[in-house]
Structure 1
Amino acid sequence: MYFPAQGNNYFPLVAPYNEPPRHRPKTPLFIPFTRNNAMMRQTVLGYIASGWPREDIVIVDNSGTADANNLKLLSTSNPFSLDYDLFRYRYGVSILQTSVLLNFAQLQNFMLRVAMARHWPYYFWSHMDVGILSHEEETPYSSFYERVLNILNEAESSRLSGKSKWAVKFFNFDYLTLVNVDAWRHIGGWDVFIPYYTTDCDAYGRLRMLGYDIDRVGAGHIWDVANVVEDPEIKFFPPSSHPRSDKDGESANNATVEDDNAPNSERFKALRQELQKIQDDKMANSDGRNTWQNMQKGGKGEPWTYDPAGFQAAWWETADSGKKLFEHKWGGGGCDIFELKKTIDDIWKDADEEGH
């Protein structure tokens, strides 16, 4: 089910130095959601502020809550709650709703299938636990999105000419990924029986076995975060993006009017430092990297809502089962099956053909 953006008067406004070019290729960006509306908001605002066109951003609502989100049936304390009005009417992005809850591997196949149906030769997808900023401290300055377009132009040229067999391009690991759809027609789908951890080992291992490349590229700052900044609209966008008081030329975060006119403002520097600290805290957290997924505890008894604590427990048990299946599928040895000299012929080599 597709819920397009509504209206044409979206906020916050993008800084003039980050506005996307008028003439550009389509750059569809999927951002899958399952839990934590605040984290999704921060990620979406980061991409918009860095120049990514709103009309190209598609949130994939994979909350598994049927029509509860679009009908506003879930409380804000419900981890699966997604604010459709905020994203569609204020931010100008679209939402694509999955029919049922999909695991990570199924989500990858879902995005591929949507791209095929829409005849997209490529698309981007992003994790929702990231902080995005352009390299505003660098001169000459190019926005995050402008650098993405340069990488896309080179990627498409090499794909069409046959000079390069790239299947994916990683922007800071796979926090943001550019996907070559035709390559995956050859590689095949993600293994849905390996639902979460190590499913990437399987997919990207097969990719390399079939002669495709994983290119690592960069376009700007991408932080791996597990928390949100306060007032993200104020912090990601310059003062001119917001209604301004007639009394003074300062915004709520004390940024001056000069902030509007050039990159590398004091506002940017403060936000860069804050996002770096959030990433550092995530890396140092003894409870793991995914604490943001289990922040909200409400929603029990609400429509189509899985018990939040039970969801977390079931998620980890499912992920652990997938790891075991990955080892069985490839005969053990660890994640990097390509470096271990595994081949496609090694898949399920010791499987019991008669079953159980």
Structure 2
Amino acid sequence: MVAIQGRRYIIPGLILAALAVVLLSTDRSHVVIREQVDKFKQYQQGKKDPAKEAKPPGPKYLPAPEYVPPPVVDPFISLATSPPPSIPRWNVPEKNLHKKYQLPYAPPLFIGFTRGWPLLVQAVVSYITAGWPASQIYVIENTGTQWANPRGRLSLQNPFYLNHNSLKSLGVNIIQTPVLLNFAQLQNFYMHLSQEREWPCLAELNAALHSGERWGTRFFAYDHLTLVNRAAYEDVGGWDTYIPYYITDCDMHQRLLMHNWTLDARDVGVISDVNTVLKDLRALYREPAAELDYRDPNPPEKTAPGAAEQDGKGSRDGEPAREGGEPEHVEYWRRLQAVVDRMVEYKKGDRGRNTWQSSQRGGEGEPFYYSSRGVQRAFDMLTAVGGQIYEEKWGHKDCALIEGGRLKLEDQWRVAHDWD
């Protein structure tokens, strides 16, 4: 009987203990807040009467950058006042082309954006003028600036600037992420969109289904354009968001291979990785009036004005096709490709491939402003920490988890360092 009576007091006792914990936690929070408010009031009083409170030493500021790149230029400024030119007739996409391949939906193209408007609009226009239907392009605005861009609250020099009106005039779709996502989170967001809209993958589905192949990805110029099988990515648990940036692709692709999903490559068109921008994007529409040249949005400090621009000029700029030679539009394409090839080579210079990331340094005083120096520094730190997490997760340093570490999917977070 005593034991039974004792049990009757267990639940009330637990409830009282829980209430005590909540009350104590809440009371402690109030104490912390009160301490912060009191210290601030004391600081304010000290400003009015220095005798009452000794002022702490002021902050020690970092030196200002010795070099600031020139303001970026919108490469498609004419979109602000007029619609885009017509797509070259030979690249106009066939209506409902997906039905020709027995696809039940029009496959979407996701283009993620966080910063660097000139490069974004160049990428979008490149796909449109190459024949990708604008209605199937989805720009994912991942800026973390909430509704500032749709409301036109950010300026061109702000790294997170995106012109919604210009993209709408091009006919593409815009989807906003609710908050700023890192790279791995953004890839999982794509999976979420595909699940929500019932897109099983991004193309080539019909042939793969009939072949019975366990295909995970199709690379076109590696990951500059990638076809994704959503089911494969879900099977291995999606992207690891604790590895936010570089080397997270190694983590994902190795896990796909561990579960017998294939990674394959296909050739399609010409896809170029650049860090510079055509001076006038009307050139991609084959507009004769457009200057066939490029501009570095973050030119090197010691470059003479205009030198980087002149380096990109194509030969025989503006010269019509010679009699008996190639059709004019083919010759123009070759000259355009020659300029793009120079842009690719320019990116391979000794300054690194991501110089464009520091080109826009304005926006101070605008909504959700964040220092461009802080963005880059935080990005570098997160990248470094992500690499360390990858090494701890697999006990291995490089991408060769299978052939170099003989690891399996089940080995995550179970393996000691193989370099100790």
TM range (shorter): 0.7 to 0.9
Q: Which runs of 4+ in 1 moved over 3 A?
A: 239-242, 253-258, 261-264
1:241 is displaced (CA, Å) by: 11
Matched, 1:21 2:94: yes
> Normalising by the residue count of structure 2, what TM-score does the alignment of the two structures yield?
0.67
| Structure 1 letter corresponding to 2:161 | S
Aligned pairs (5 A) from 1:54-203:
54-89=134-169, 91-123=170-202, 152=203, 155-203=204-252
1:161 is displaced (CA, Å) by: 2.2
What corresponds to 2:118 in structure 1? 38
Whole-angstrom distance in 2 between the partners of 1:165 and 1:19: 33
Matched, 1:11 2:90: no
Q: 1:321 to 1:106 in 2, by over 3 A?
A: same
What corresponds to 1:294 in structure 2? 358
Q: 1:72 to 1:64 in 2, by over 3 A?
A: same
* Long gaps (5+) in structure 1: 1-8, 124-151, 243-252, 352-356
1:67 is displaced (CA, Å) by: 0.7
Greater fraction strand? 1
What corresponds to 2:378 in structure 1? 314
Q: 1:265 aligns with which of 309, 324, 330?
A: 330
Q: 1:156 to 1:71 in 2, by over 3 A?
A: same
Greater fraction helix? 2
- Note the alpha carbon deviations across 1:11-61, whole angstroms, 9 max, x for none: 221111111112322120010001111101110111001000000001110
Q: 1:305 to 1:163 in 2, by over 3 A?
A: same
Whole-angstrom distance in 2 between the partners of 1:266 and 1:194: 46
Matched, 1:346 2:411: yes
SS in 2 for 1:52: coil
> Normalising by the residue count of structure 1, what TM-score does the alignment of the two structures yield?
0.79
Does the CA contact (< 8 Å) of 2:129 and 2:285 recur in 1?
A: yes
Does the CA contact (< 8 Å) of 2:107 and 2:199 recur in 1?
A: no
Whole-angstrom distance in 1 between the partners of 2:328 and 2:393: 50
Of structures 1 and 2, the one scoring higher in RCO (CA 8 A, sep 6+) is 1
- Note the alpha carbon deviations across 1:132-184, whole angstroms, 9 max, x for none: xxxxxxxxxxxxxxxxxxxx4xx323432253111110001110001111222
1:185 is displaced (CA, Å) by: 2.2
| RMSD, aligned α-carbons | 2.2
Whole-angstrom distance in 1 between the partners of 2:156 and 2:374: 19
Whole-angstrom distance in 2 between the partners of 1:224 and 1:13: 25
Whole-angstrom distance in 2 between the partners of 1:108 and 1:213: 19
Counting matched residue pairs gives 298
Does the CA contact (< 8 Å) of 1:11 and 1:241 recur in 2?
A: no
Identity %: 37
Does the CA contact (< 8 Å) of 1:14 and 1:241 recur in 2?
A: no
Matched, 1:223 2:272: yes
1:302 is displaced (CA, Å) by: 1.1
Whole-angstrom distance in 2 between the partners of 1:302 and 1:255: 45
Does the CA contact (< 8 Å) of 1:13 and 1:241 recur in 2?
A: no
